[in-house]
A and B are shown apart, each in its own frame.
Chain A
């Protein structure tokens, strides 16, 4: 049985380290205001629907990896930068109590899902 591309690539290095240096320069930096794109979502994604169209701030530029939409079919040809984005809870949930206005939520996206505001 032949190994998947991914297993060949990650053996002895680990994931996501095996993709380091393959995505080019990151498009966004810490502090950037970004909006989550509402791309078509069929078959597979890890970009939560509740974040679509919301605006947050890049908190961490994390690592390079194939996007889940590609990796889930063992395609590792086009790694992307990943970002942790911080949202105000009130940005995500219309009924969020005003008394907790400082609450935030952080979650992770591959670069294709983000656009500068």
Chain B
């Protein structure tokens, strides 16, 4: 039986299969000796440090901030005023901890929002169970 949930799940699995670090050589479960210093350093590179990387030009576009983006910004500032994080910890979580695939693949304020949710869980202001339950509840309003 093929429910909408299963279809979504299978599509998700297909999509995450396409998200791969761009190291075009066999790399699953390597033996330690397969990781030399250069390769280790490449893996450890902090994802925000893109200066000097060969890349293609990006078209510059003017885009106004959306309401949810402004709300996200204010939320993150409030978390700082309440002492949950400082600006540097926020940057670490938004730009580095989430890894290269998410850093390059998600919108700027999407990363802010994710890091806000994550620090609330990490610092035990809420539990992940509470967060999941709430997201599920809100999602159902739109079904």
Contacts and interface: CB of A to CB of B under 8 A. Distances in A.
B51 interface: yes
B46 A71 contact: no
Chain B interface, DSSP helix/strand/loop, else mixed = loop
A72 B97 CA distance: 11
B89 A73 contact: yes
A4 B125 CA distance: 13
A49 interface: yes
B51 A71 contact: no
Given A1-B83, A7-B83, A49-B49, A71 B44 contact: no
Contact of B45 (A1, A49, A71): A49
Given A41-B44, A49-B49, A50-B52, A4 B85 contact: yes
A1 B125 contact: yes
B92 interface: yes
A93 B51 CA distance: 11
Interface in A1-26: 1-4, 6-8, 10, 15
Interface of A: 1-4, 6-8, 10, 15, 41-45, 48-50, 66, 68, 71-74, 92-93
